[in-house]
Structure 1
């Protein structure tokens, strides 16, 4: 596999590989292969590894956003933010009063609904618009910020902040920082983050992400935080039709297709899962897991079959998909 084949479509480094995996566009085994290839090739890349120095226009970034399935309200808000920044810059040039460009955000929604992907796209947009120097994304969770003894947490948190300078610090399940009460070291992490928001207000954007209810409770528990995050974005669960569209994209990428009956069975499975797991359905990971199980089932079926054709290798049948959610 050639270098340009591996690193096409803006695939510039490890984090982009994580994004493809999260969106279900590659399998875990394909991700491992890409990581290995990246390590082999990174010294010869035509642009710095894991950077966004490869020339890209705002319009190209917005096309990437528009290509994502669903996320209608998210896309609308991102376009509003882009327009707001552009107009404030125009007003500044004309000597008019401008609104402060405070871009710290709260992302609320279930896992796998595109929060990390959108955060990365925002970083690219803000870099190209001159709001951030690098536009890269540093994704962390409680374990990356909270230490085991007094003083350790502030040190760990500052290290992550330093990595994120010039870009976005994305904290997943941010509400976990406030779960331990007053004596928990998570409070120290919050205090350190709040100080950094002021110290690096022109060189750092903070995005806190997590389940909607938990994030609402988190903000209520620390009133000083809410005012510092003027932008709230809700990531709603995918509809059944959107999940089926995601399934088709995953299958197309792998050069598989569903029979008509298998298509209907997968849709029935997703409908059943929707009512069993209201807080877990709205993500591409469920679809990816079902598809990967069906592909393995198909392999077991075909390996015992004589005279396997190209069509056989591509087709996922009802036998491959039926009952797959129970495994």
Structure 2
């Protein structure tokens, strides 16, 4: 037996080999905020990395549980983190392929007897060697429906989680409270999930940073006043149901780019660099959401805008614009005054 007591290993070199810094940096670059999530991923990476080093010293191999639970609202980065996790696990040698397969109840559960097993098996075979992310996993469990076959899919997942845990990682994702009920319904499932990670909602500052990043990636930029209106848009949008964090911000950014294109095509005879990249207040304030917002925010109408027109509007917004000229004027006045 080789004595490894005095053996020394260069950790910096091993980190390069396993691409630890590269993968964690990619996660940090892709996602704004989520510090608690990034910390948990770093901790999981650390124990896996140390396990590899221990093996090099001749110590026994310890295979830690890797199945996970991601809970939180939509658009909080769960799929992105799952993808980076699959990459990390492949680099460390815990997965052979390191790909990500996303699935939902419809991909696993059939409507008729005898069809659920082949559907579930097909998804599992496709995910083998990587990570299987099951979104809204609690929909697999429907206790009040005797003819539902979700329990059959769950039983198959349990078998694979135990028997194939060296080459397949399952991640169950969904809203926090329904996921708690889901795990209580099946203690065997809960006991096999080693890491429960909660994804917090993005705050206002993080959402505007996400928007800026998305605009920058598409080579657009918000003007100073457009940024102020964007923040107001976020305040309104977050009060409505089905707000999906970064996913909703992505949709807002896309619509603003569409409005810029429409505006430039309609009003500009000569294209300039600024006309093609500058997102102005008009590109945001034309949203119907601002009409709803006027019911939420107390607006003060002006008696005479002719003297102070530049104060109430942003240069570039045409006062003759119709049919929502008053909405533009009064909404913009509200933004400036508040």
User: Normalising to structure 1: TM-score of the pair?
Assistant: 0.78
More displaced stretch, 89-98 vs 302-311: 89-98
Deviation, 1:96, is 4.9
Specify the alignment match of 1:65 in structure 2: 27
Specify the alignment match of 1:108 in structure 2: 71
- Counterpart of 1:319 (choices 276, 282, 286) is 282
Contact 2:72–2:174 at 8 Å: present in 1 too?
yes
CA distance in 1, matches of 2:232, 2:18: 41
- Counterpart of 1:255 (choices 197, 219, 226) is 219
Specify the alignment match of 2:313 in structure 1: none
Determine helix, strand or coil for the equivalent of 1:276.
Answer: coil
Deviation, 1:245, is 0.9
Question: Could you list the runs of 5+ residues in structure 2 that have no partner in the other structure?
Answer: 1-16, 291-338
CA distance in 1, matches of 2:282, 2:227: 12
Cα RMSD between the aligned structures? Answer: 2.0
Deviation, 1:227, is 0.7
Which structure: larger Rg? Answer: 2
Q: Which has the higher contact order (CA 8 A, sep 6+)?
A: 1
Deviation, 1:98, is 6.3
Specify the alignment match of 2:294 in structure 1: none
Q: Between Structure 1 and Structure 2, how many residues are aligned?
A: 271
CA distance in 2, matches of 1:95, 1:297: 63
Specify the alignment match of 1:307 in structure 2: 270
Q: 1:94 to 1:254 in 2, by over 3 A?
A: closer
User: Normalising to structure 2: TM-score of the pair?
Assistant: 0.75
- Counterpart of 2:247 (choices 285, 301, 322) is 285
1:146 matched to 2:93? The reply is: no
- Counterpart of 1:123 (choices 86, 104, 109) is 86
- Counterpart of 1:270 (choices 224, 234, 237) is 234
More displaced stretch, 165-174 vs 316-325: 316-325
Determine helix, strand or coil for the equivalent of 2:271.
Answer: coil
Question: Could you list the runs of 5+ residues in structure 1 that have no partner in the other structure?
Answer: 1-54
Specify the alignment match of 2:209 in structure 1: 245
CA distance in 2, matches of 1:175, 1:96: 40
Deviation, 1:112, is 1.5
Contact 1:269–1:325 at 8 Å: present in 2 too?
no
CA distance in 1, matches of 2:264, 2:83: 40
